Structure 1
């Protein structure tokens, strides 16, 4: 026998309250009571999250164990069984299975001593690494010794009945979070049939408290069987609480369709009355992320359970007392059923509507929030203005002129004209005429214009929506007046060739604009950008099923109008004066009366002016598991702390509402040190520790994505099916196992934004760290408004993995107006990337931003050309990132107050004698910091070419010093005309004064 005494505590404590339920262990000859409990000290994780504790009456070669474990997880028969002597720690050698299913376990084991035993029936292999859970349950135990089976005549039913019978004493969960009690303890088929036989309708409705979220879809909990069918629910609330509860609908005899709830008024015995509008059912009604009310049809298949979550908005001036209301459950072709609700409302006024205590589920009302939805500009932008001609619009740093059909004829960004001519929507062979504006709606932050025009075969309606940040959306609707064949439909954008220096998208990374390039809509390609650091245009072709970022994760189909069954595509051609980008659809046939909508969006870049002072001042401390910097690290220049997830302050991914005491304490401590604190809080996956996970699951796949299941055992034991596993993090006291969010528009965005407001008010954070998100610019705009209004000066930085986004600068371009900093570095290979790739996809400079490096510590020499370092002390690809030695040079020089002039500028002040060696100057009165980095394939010797007048230095009096920077360069002095060697991928940092 194998002794595992060191792994298993013998003693355990039961729950503070012992739950006794009948008929949980069937021993073949009698019934016994058994309690559900939580282990006082969790046993070794690999033994599984659940065990039975049973007693063997006497020493025997073979003992029979039969009990109902009432489980709803799958593949029960495939799991390994481990039976351990509680006193000695020895494992049982032989386990002979008789019958194992969701209801019961019937087996024989031995040899066994008299006493207590632990039966672990869900053991698995733990994974101690971050990422994605890599293992699973242990395979079924080996077959018992044939000789033992024969000796004990286990094939003889009469002998089996005579075997000593173990008594099941207790069913125990490893932690409270693992427990199945009470809502995942299933009723047996026999119990269910008796229960259903008492029903007077095809479906059964049961009121349930918020403390007991309905979790199972395919089984009824034994709790309901024991309580019986009732049409009364009673709860307790406080004044001004947003109170929630559930109505469970069980389709007992047939499918139940189109379920609706009808509410009466809520009234007290003393005559106080509140209208039915205080009630909300989150399953049947809601408000989408853009402020639009909607209804949902709820259908329940036969044999399935559907929770309906109900909210009650209790006013602050409510008088204490007992209030009642009737809720009528309606369904197609079914008899109405009425549940009477009694609420005992206490005189105490609860803080924050109850939101400070997640178990109350008051935050479910956040799902329907419209916080941040308005037409006002965000703080850093100005209202939209128009001139006397009424066809020119002025924005912050931008001017747009429109033609008769509503498309731009000229676009200026900070006095740089981007276009070489009007943007055109072309129907080949059709002449567009009679263009006129039908209506105009102007507000401080948005201007909506509608236009009409026609051709021989089409009526055309165009709607444009311009926003204060330079984002313009178009919807162009074609209505065929007759049957017609078109050779092509095109969007033509003529760029000034002097502006069209660089591009990205449509199959290209950040690169110089090629002379010619064609691309199809293969893979996640829905947008492109053309421009330089002075001006540019990002173009997104919309109308598909999903158009936010993370296209590589969700793999949507392209917009059908533009793609045209694969005939559509993109081309760009560069000439001396004009560079034309064309989106085309190819041949298309229309029938009379057919409508087709083409949607697209433009974003004018740069979205704002580069703030190099903030870049060199706001230095990040970003340490995943240990976010607290040491005093010397603060002295070295740390100004902002990013608190990742999977640590004691923010343990659960995208759900920072549990360890709030620890988080607030940390934030206060950092604020005392004059540091700002931002936290990881984003949307892509959701922690399995989210309190509302069961309420969200009741909404189908509106918020939680679907998938094949699997992953970390907790997910398989509780969610069971219809989910997709995502990020997994071992924590100090448990596991955080997330599941994917559904793509596209989701009310979780509303919850997320209200959550941000709550965090700003209650945790006093200074902003967010975003890590590859699913929402689009509209949500980020709401977020920016919340930050600006709740806590001015708050910041957002965005991280992306190019493996997820297939080019983060392109997929996240529409976010740029609302961000403070970029961290586009994961999966970038800096040593292999040409300068144009650095400039366009990493630096952020063409868009009005600056950023930090990431992958494998970046390339410090090339990074300095773009004003970038890594984040201290992030550990990536086996490299610990420490930019502090470079920061010290920055501070001694005073780089925060310097003017940055890079090689990409029209009027450079520093260059080198080799075009493969790039240089950037940081100019201050009386001195210049010059960064040079090589993209040459071999070591080269180069000289600096300095415009002495432009930098304000006397050539005859200067000296050039390369200060010593550990792991960067040795100390060395050069004469002003001296050549210096530079190795491949490396560079120098010079001070000229």
Structure 2
């Protein structure tokens, strides 16, 4: 039986779902307007007209207050019946009387709702009961007279139906009545908890009630199931804390004994609720307590060996808790001789993929292209384009960048970033003491992509311990512990970063959007803001830093920051005394992260965690960037190719990827589309970010059983499916009205990341996806590295692009998108920033640092309103097809006519750029080929102006007396025009030119 049909197979005492359908008439449609009537109804048969008929609906409802929710009766003609009396309504059943003017099938809808708010973030409220029945009818019909109610003719209940199979309540959501529960408790009079084994076909959906099937079946019993050889078989045991809270649940497994001495060892079994392997690859245990009255599903699994002998295997699973006697559940598993394909993973509904939660795939210190192995020469560490010299303290004494200003290669002479060593300073009454040690740090190699070191030192009256690492992408992670040997009063503990003045050109972060680095600036901690660091630097060398708590957890982002905000770092913040100052002093740009005065007790330890990243991460590749032309929509492939695009991004809510962040339910459609694209020389990437998870994921009930490990805590609400089928403790996320797809917000760091990595590997192997379109992701660099490794291993030309809406607003904690995602930049290929970015009223410095990606080794495209095509061209950016507000096709044609893929891109930020304007508000970027150069001009001047180009003819290989300067006609961009090299070129405000000099 197809498990996707299970929601339709409810254990009703009346008729089966199939019988319900047979009982329908043309006047009562099988589908209805859920926005008017809700998702659930009973149909009832009225044999003959009557002033009033009575009906008892055995609905067994899981919603908390059925008496506060309306019921709507619709007659055989589809008309709402006004005269209805709610005689008795509770969770077990509903007794109604209604006027029946004609015989036939009536529909009674019992959870109607109203939808308001934004369509993608709807507010669904359930209609309250109305009392608009005619008083005369109530009196004359007997519907309001208890003495006459029992004499009313009874309508015959035909059965339950839902607006579709997915919305239907399953047999695990039909509650046991209070009498049934009492009978069950009486049969188990002394049991502190009751256990109910269930196969994966019946996922436990309720956590504060038990289902009817448990009350009828009784507690305990065995679990019997069947599996193929090599299959991963998942199952559950529901634990109901009936009389008291249950503390510290433990699960143990016995070996499964099979035919002829065969066995499956207990080591092949696991309980996911009690721990596993976290997203960073570390084992963990979870203490599990169950509140009194609550139901806790315990999801378990057994890996059937590929070579298991066919036959019946028997064993036990034992559950116990503090003060609770151990209780065994017998297991009987019949192993078929047939071998499972891919452990059963090709069918998500088999729930074999639960084992992915504990995956360590791509969890290693191997290299990712284009990075090179970390080199170690004593305290001198080398990575791609950068060198870090360690001081005896273990902190950087110097950082050098070997990237050139063009960002396409490396300079002959490295650029030092620091004006002096980075220091952690302790200040007391005796003076200022730097953390230091007597010996050089001993660097140990973890793998080609990572090294680490440890230093024991001293900072005045404090003992210091430094644990640090460097990775091939340029990430430095420090955990510094300072311990007081005796009680002491301190004036300050601070981190001093002295950048070289010429390096500190631009800054973003700490509440500032990207701009020139401020001459004097101060900042204080505030949990309302998602701010804990900044990036400061030049195009070809900079430093990102973040100040973290030792228990740091990535905050939620994109509208949900305040649901899980930044953990204030107790040492750095110091109760509001801490902050950051930045000041330009002589040849230094001094950054001081201070924590202020405090008193330490003897033996007290403070933790100062720091994350730093040295930029750029990698060189840019303009030729590849210009060759990859994006179509960001699902459409006919021939139509896409005819418009000049060759990379297709497939969003969710499309026929081949309908469900947000769960791209596994239309594999054949997706594979066929991607195969067809590959035949045309095109690539296809899909939307998949795990920021939120579709309600269509078959694993969702199991994930709900993990508490808030995967699903973020929240106040519930949102689309009707979430309210009707989840436990209420979640954050409602994106909703697509067209296909009724609703999602919940995922926690920022969880084992769902392990599932995600395995899922990408499956998609790359089986479906052939060429990469990912990331839309405001919630995961961190640890997962991003794994994403890159998986795609790099499986696909010949993997592509990852990152989109973000501007996060610089109150709801997102005024965080710069570039800073929020900078840790991911080493592993992606391009940016698409994005909605709510201002392309018209912001400075070139903002464009450079917040939008373009160039100082970090990336290039990008524009979105909001089509961007500004003239300004975009000085950064190598256009917008994407087929988004409104701009059309890049005419620019693409000019690129091809000129041969931009064979040109060297020399941006306006390069100090010896061959073409300049002599102005800061009209900028020029050159695309240089042998014998000709294309010049992009863009204006930030407040009004119409003129510029005269300053040309380094030798650098371009041209002769001034023989050169022509032509503006080709580009529809929607510029008219045709011809200038002489020394002419004053008119430039409109906010616009520019694309000129060919040859």
**TM-score clears 0.5:** yes
8 Å CA contact 1:187, 1:222 repeated in 2 = yes
1:935 is displaced (CA, Å) by: 0.6
> For residue 570 of structure 2, what is the aligned residue in structure 1?
560
Aligned partner of residue 393 in structure 2, secondary structure: coil
> For residue 729 of structure 1, what is the aligned residue in structure 2?
736
Mapping for residues 88-487 of structure 1, pairs under 5 Å = 88-125=77-114, 131-199=120-188, 201-387=191-377, 390-414=378-402, 415-428=414-427, 429-432=431-434, 434-437=437-440, 439-442=442-445, 443-487=447-491
8 Å CA contact 2:722, 2:742 repeated in 1 = yes
Distance of aligned partners of 1:439 and 1:122 in 2 relative to their CA distance in 1, 3 Å threshold: same
Distance of aligned partners of 1:967 and 1:77 in 2 relative to their CA distance in 1, 3 Å threshold: farther
Distance of aligned partners of 1:239 and 1:15 in 2 relative to their CA distance in 1, 3 Å threshold: closer
1:170 is displaced (CA, Å) by: 0.6
Q: Partners in 2 of 1:629 and 1:597 — Cα distance?
A: 55
> For residue 965 of structure 1, what is the aligned residue in structure 2?
970
Mapping for residues 2-21 of structure 1, pairs under 5 Å = none
Aligned partner of residue 335 in structure 2, secondary structure: strand
Mapping for residues 917-932 of structure 1, pairs under 5 Å = 917-932=922-937
Q: Deviations over 1:807-860 (max 9, x none)?
A: 111111111111111112221011011100000010011111101111111111
8 Å CA contact 2:8, 2:17 repeated in 1 = no
Aligned partner of residue 704 in structure 1, secondary structure: coil
1:647 is displaced (CA, Å) by: 0.7
1:101 is displaced (CA, Å) by: 1.9
8 Å CA contact 2:243, 2:292 repeated in 1 = yes
Matched, 1:510 2:539: no
Matched, 1:696 2:703: yes
> For residue 982 of structure 1, what is the aligned residue in structure 2?
987
Distance of aligned partners of 1:792 and 1:560 in 2 relative to their CA distance in 1, 3 Å threshold: farther
8 Å CA contact 1:18, 1:37 repeated in 2 = no
Distance of aligned partners of 1:728 and 1:549 in 2 relative to their CA distance in 1, 3 Å threshold: closer
Distance of aligned partners of 1:548 and 1:919 in 2 relative to their CA distance in 1, 3 Å threshold: farther
Q: Partners in 2 of 1:74 and 1:666 — Cα distance?
A: 45
> For residue 785 of structure 1, what is the aligned residue in structure 2?
789
> For residue 11 of structure 1, what is the aligned residue in structure 2?
none
8 Å CA contact 2:625, 2:859 repeated in 1 = yes
Q: Partners in 2 of 1:493 and 1:303 — Cα distance?
A: 55
Q: Partners in 2 of 1:261 and 1:15 — Cα distance?
A: 32
Matched, 1:520 2:530: no
Q: Partners in 1 of 2:85 and 2:939 — Cα distance?
A: 71
Q: Partners in 1 of 2:600 and 2:727 — Cα distance?
A: 48
Distance of aligned partners of 1:937 and 1:24 in 2 relative to their CA distance in 1, 3 Å threshold: same
8 Å CA contact 1:322, 1:343 repeated in 2 = yes
> For residue 854 of structure 2, what is the aligned residue in structure 1?
845
Matched, 1:664 2:654: no
Matched, 1:898 2:882: no
Aligned partner of residue 220 in structure 1, secondary structure: coil
Q: Deviations over 1:918-949 (max 9, x none)?
A: 11111001111111111111111222222111
Matched, 1:679 2:686: yes
Q: Partners in 1 of 2:868 and 2:598 — Cα distance?
A: 49
1:181 is displaced (CA, Å) by: 2.5
Aligned partner of residue 669 in structure 1, secondary structure: helix
> For residue 831 of structure 1, what is the aligned residue in structure 2?
840
Matched, 1:498 2:488: no
Q: Deviations over 1:872-920 (max 9, x none)?
A: 1124xxx3x3211101101110111111111111212112244311111
Q: Compare 905-914 and 298-307 and name the one that shifted more.
A: 905-914
Q: Partners in 2 of 1:21 and 1:534 — Cα distance?
A: 67
In the alignment of these two chains, the number of paired residues is 961
Q: Deviations over 1:329-349 (max 9, x none)?
A: 111111211111010100111
**TM, length-normalised to structure 2:** 0.93
1:35 is displaced (CA, Å) by: 6.5
Q: Deviations over 1:932-970 (max 9, x none)?
A: 111111111222222111111111111111111111111
Q: Compare 427-436 and 442-451 and name the one that shifted more.
A: 427-436
Q: Partners in 2 of 1:770 and 1:868 — Cα distance?
A: 19
Aligned partner of residue 986 in structure 2, secondary structure: strand
Q: Partners in 2 of 1:920 and 1:19 — Cα distance?
A: 66
Pairing partner for 1:751 from 746, 755, 760: 755
Q: Deviations over 1:631-669 (max 9, x none)?
A: 3x4144312111110111111111001111111111111
Matched, 1:798 2:807: no
> For residue 6 of structure 1, what is the aligned residue in structure 2?
none
1:51 is displaced (CA, Å) by: 0.7
Matched, 1:859 2:868: yes
> For residue 712 of structure 2, what is the aligned residue in structure 1?
705
1:142 is displaced (CA, Å) by: 4.7
Q: Partners in 1 of 2:918 and 2:49 — Cα distance?
A: 91
Distance of aligned partners of 1:290 and 1:481 in 2 relative to their CA distance in 1, 3 Å threshold: same
> For residue 4 of structure 1, what is the aligned residue in structure 2?
none
Aligned partner of residue 260 in structure 2, secondary structure: coil
Q: Partners in 2 of 1:420 and 1:451 — Cα distance?
A: 23
**TM, length-normalised to structure 1:** 0.94
8 Å CA contact 1:21, 1:35 repeated in 2 = no
8 Å CA contact 1:34, 1:170 repeated in 2 = no
Q: Where do 5+ consecutive residues of structure 1 fail to align? A: 1-13, 26-31
Aligned partner of residue 94 in structure 2, secondary structure: strand
1:23 is displaced (CA, Å) by: 5.2
Q: Partners in 2 of 1:316 and 1:52 — Cα distance?
A: 47
Q: Deviations over 1:433-457 (max 9, x none)?
A: 5433565321322111111111442
> For residue 942 of structure 1, what is the aligned residue in structure 2?
947
Q: Partners in 2 of 1:945 and 1:501 — Cα distance?
A: 24
Q: Partners in 1 of 2:766 and 2:144 — Cα distance?
A: 66
1:18 is displaced (CA, Å) by: 9.0
Aligned partner of residue 325 in structure 2, secondary structure: coil
1:545 is displaced (CA, Å) by: 3.8
Distance of aligned partners of 1:50 and 1:870 in 2 relative to their CA distance in 1, 3 Å threshold: same
Q: Where do 5+ consecutive residues of structure 2 fail to align? A: 403-413
1:42 is displaced (CA, Å) by: 2.5
1:767 is displaced (CA, Å) by: 0.7
Distance of aligned partners of 1:856 and 1:467 in 2 relative to their CA distance in 1, 3 Å threshold: same
1:485 is displaced (CA, Å) by: 1.4
8 Å CA contact 1:15, 1:37 repeated in 2 = no
Aligned partner of residue 435 in structure 1, secondary structure: coil
8 Å CA contact 2:391, 2:440 repeated in 1 = no
Aligned partner of residue 476 in structure 1, secondary structure: strand
1:577 is displaced (CA, Å) by: 1.8
1:750 is displaced (CA, Å) by: 0.6
8 Å CA contact 1:962, 1:989 repeated in 2 = yes
> For residue 956 of structure 1, what is the aligned residue in structure 2?
961
Q: Partners in 1 of 2:817 and 2:635 — Cα distance?
A: 26
1:354 is displaced (CA, Å) by: 0.5
1:135 is displaced (CA, Å) by: 4.5
8 Å CA contact 2:120, 2:737 repeated in 1 = no
Q: Partners in 1 of 2:343 and 2:728 — Cα distance?
A: 34
Distance of aligned partners of 1:15 and 1:802 in 2 relative to their CA distance in 1, 3 Å threshold: closer
Aligned partner of residue 754 in structure 2, secondary structure: helix
Q: Compare 570-579 and 132-141 and name the one that shifted more.
A: 132-141
Matched, 1:768 2:768: no
1:391 is displaced (CA, Å) by: 1.5
Pairing partner for 2:594 from 552, 564, 584: 584
1:90 is displaced (CA, Å) by: 2.4
Q: Partners in 1 of 2:5 and 2:312 — Cα distance?
A: 32
1:158 is displaced (CA, Å) by: 1.3
